[in-house]
Chains A and B, each alone.
Chain A
Amino acid sequence: MKHSITLNVNGEEWDIDVAPNDTLLEVLRDRVGIKSPKVGCERGDCGACTVILDGRTVRSCLVLAVEADGCGVLTVEALSKDGPNELQQAFIDRNSFQCGFCAPGVVLTVSELLATNPKPTEDEVKEAIAGNLCRCTGYTPIVEAVMELVGKDEA
């Protein structure tokens, strides 16, 4: 049986008919056309499908689309409407990513951290992104970019 759901995706209202076994990840990619959440492990381990659902990062591969009815979804597309934001620019300046597959998830996870903790320690940054697997960089340039950004005011 199809369910009619309403999603607010990056500020835009979408009315979509979904099946109970459609995941939020599939609906975002295949129906809404937003490609930044990636299909990775599809079991919640890798963090590549991370989106912000009603203010919190979630694994969109582990959320049924029908569960998200009436919710607000944010992806990196919302952050960079007017070009890269401060955090994204910090990652660009540091060349923090190579293949970029993990990047949207990392950007959203760090954004969530900075929203509640604008001056995190290095350990807090590492803990926050512990669930976002990056197989290219060894994480060093990712953590360095965040620490550089949050340390800016003191310089």
Chain B
Amino acid sequence: MPIAHEFDYLKPASLEDAVAVLAKRGEGAQVLAGGTDVVALLRDGAIAPEVVVDIKGIAGLADIRLAGERLFIGPLVTFTDLIESELIRESFPLFYEMAVKVASKGIRNRATVVGNICSAVPSCDAGPVVLVYDAQVLILGPEGERAVHIDEWFTGPKKTDLQSGELVVGLEMPSSAQACGGSYVKLGRYRGEDLAQASVAVLVSPDYEYRVAFGAVGPVPVRAKKLEAAIKGEEPTEEMFAVARKFIARETSPITDIRATAEYRTHMLEVMLERGIRAAVARLNGDGPEYGTRHI
């Protein structure tokens, strides 16, 4: 079925030009990066922009770089780019573990990490990982630059803090995460490409401070800060998991839909959280499973 909706297509060569167009066209403009969501939404008629603004003509937006205390990921970085980056593999391997579980090769070659969090589907794979990496979303708009902490970014299903006329120009993460162990556990209906029924990201620092985030079990991917505080400083033991499990119901609000029941999601989160914490701690101590493994 062809795309019925007609629109203009612009491919600005600079950030200034892109932001000028976005400011001028406001709600009528749709940014295009990898297009794996945008083109599907256009075909469905779920979005009907006057103009599609392709940012692939702007230099420097596909960078993954370590600058001082921050890791920068540009808005054109694809999941394949993450998988193939030595810097990611060696220093921020939780991104690698997440990226290999996204959809299929043909999608990963095109879909971007930033696009994933801009689409803001509750099950988005990048969500829980950027939450535990404590990311800042860097934004350029008519009023200049601003940064939004990832905790404030997701505002509802498919909704973010991005305002009309603004463009996400990258993600920044503290490089201190390099010293941590991490894990990403994704539950799907079958091996191979599927959206998450539930997902858990864990990051643990050398002094056993935990960061835990959940995906697909609420309207937005969410950090579980009460849970984190309750297990702070603890090594993984049965007692610690018993405490952690108690917080799952408080920190999540799963629904029953076509992919799973709420009860199943909650039950599986208990299993996934325990495995995620065990793997993250084992990796911190240098004897965990290789990054990229399924855990479940």
The answer for the CA separation of A32 and B44 in the assembled complex, in Å, is 25
Report if B39 contacts A (CB, 8 A).
yes
In the A-B complex, list the 8 residue pairs whose CB atoms are closest, starting with the nearest: A131-B104, A130-B192, A20-B9, A21-B3, A56-B109, A62-B39, A57-B106, A43-B40
With most chain B CB atoms within 10 A of its CB, the pick from A62, A109, A113, A126 is A62
Contact of B2 among A26, A59, A63 (CB under 8 A): A26
The answer for the CA separation of A14 and B248 in the assembled complex, in Å, is 57
Report if A141 contacts B (CB, 8 A).
no
| Residue in chain A with minimal CB distance to B51 | A20
| Residue in chain B with minimal CB distance to A47 | B106
Chain B residues in contact with chain A, CB under 8 A?
1-9, 32, 35-36, 39-40, 42-44, 52, 54, 56, 80, 103-107, 109-110, 191-193
Contact of A44 among B7, B9, B107 (CB under 8 A): B107
With most chain A CB atoms within 10 A of its CB, the pick from B44, B103, B105, B109 is B105
Given contact pairs A21-B2, A26-B2, A64-B35, A56 touches B80 in the complex (Cβ within 8 A): yes
Report if A92 contacts B (CB, 8 A).
no
Q: Is the CB of B7 within 8 A of A67?
A: no
| Residues of chain B within 8 A of A62, CB atoms compared | 35-36, 39-40, 110
| Residues of chain B within 8 A of A56, CB atoms compared | 80, 109-110
Q: Is the CB of A47 within 8 A of B2?
A: no
CB distance from A34 to the nearest CB of B (A): 17
With most chain B CB atoms within 10 A of its CB, the pick from A21, A42, A50, A112 is A21
Q: Is the CB of A63 within 8 A of B107?
A: no
The answer for the CA separation of A34 and B146 in the assembled complex, in Å, is 47
Report if A66 contacts B (CB, 8 A).
yes
Interface residues of A in 15-33 (CB under 8 A from B): 19-23, 26
18 contacts between A and B (CB under 8 A): A1-B8, A20-B9, A21-B4, A42-B43, A44-B36, A45-B193, A59-B107, A63-B39, A64-B9, A64-B39, A64-B52, A66-B9, A67-B54, A109-B105, A126-B192, A130-B191, A131-B105, A131-B106
| Residues of chain B within 8 A of A130, CB atoms compared | 104-105, 191-193
Given A58-B110, A63-B39, A131-B105, 20 other A-B residues pairs in contact with their CB atoms under 8 A: A1-B9, A3-B9, A21-B3, A21-B4, A26-B2, A42-B1, A42-B43, A43-B43, A43-B44, A57-B109, A58-B109, A62-B39, A64-B9, A64-B35, A64-B39, A64-B52, A109-B106, A130-B105, A131-B104, A131-B106
Report if A128 contacts B (CB, 8 A).
yes
CB distance from B52 to the nearest CB of A (A): 7
The answer for the CA separation of A64 and B56 in the assembled complex, in Å, is 13
- Mostly, the A contact residues are mixed
The answer for the CA separation of A44 and B41 in the assembled complex, in Å, is 12
The answer for the CA separation of A116 and B106 in the assembled complex, in Å, is 15
Q: Is the CB of A67 within 8 A of B56?
A: yes
Contact of B5 among A21, A44, A64, A127 (CB under 8 A): A21
Contact of A131 among B1, B42, B107 (CB under 8 A): B107
CB distance from B84 to the nearest CB of A (A): 9
Q: Mark A115-145, 1 if CB is under 8 A from B, else 0.
A: 0000000000011101110000000000000
| Residues of chain A within 8 A of B105, CB atoms compared | 57, 109, 112-113, 127-128, 130-131
CB distance from A45 to the nearest CB of B (A): 7
Q: Is the CB of B110 within 8 A of A59?
A: yes
Q: Is the CB of B6 within 8 A of A19?
A: yes
| Residues of chain B within 8 A of A113, CB atoms compared | 105
The answer for the CA separation of A23 and B80 in the assembled complex, in Å, is 22
Interface residues of A in 81-126 (CB under 8 A from B): 109, 112-113, 126
Q: Is the CB of B106 within 8 A of A58?
A: yes
Q: Is the CB of B8 within 8 A of A20?
A: yes
CB distance from A3 to the nearest CB of B (A): 7
| Residues of chain B within 8 A of A47, CB atoms compared | 104, 106
The answer for the CA separation of A58 and B36 in the assembled complex, in Å, is 10
| Residue in chain B with minimal CB distance to A130 | B192
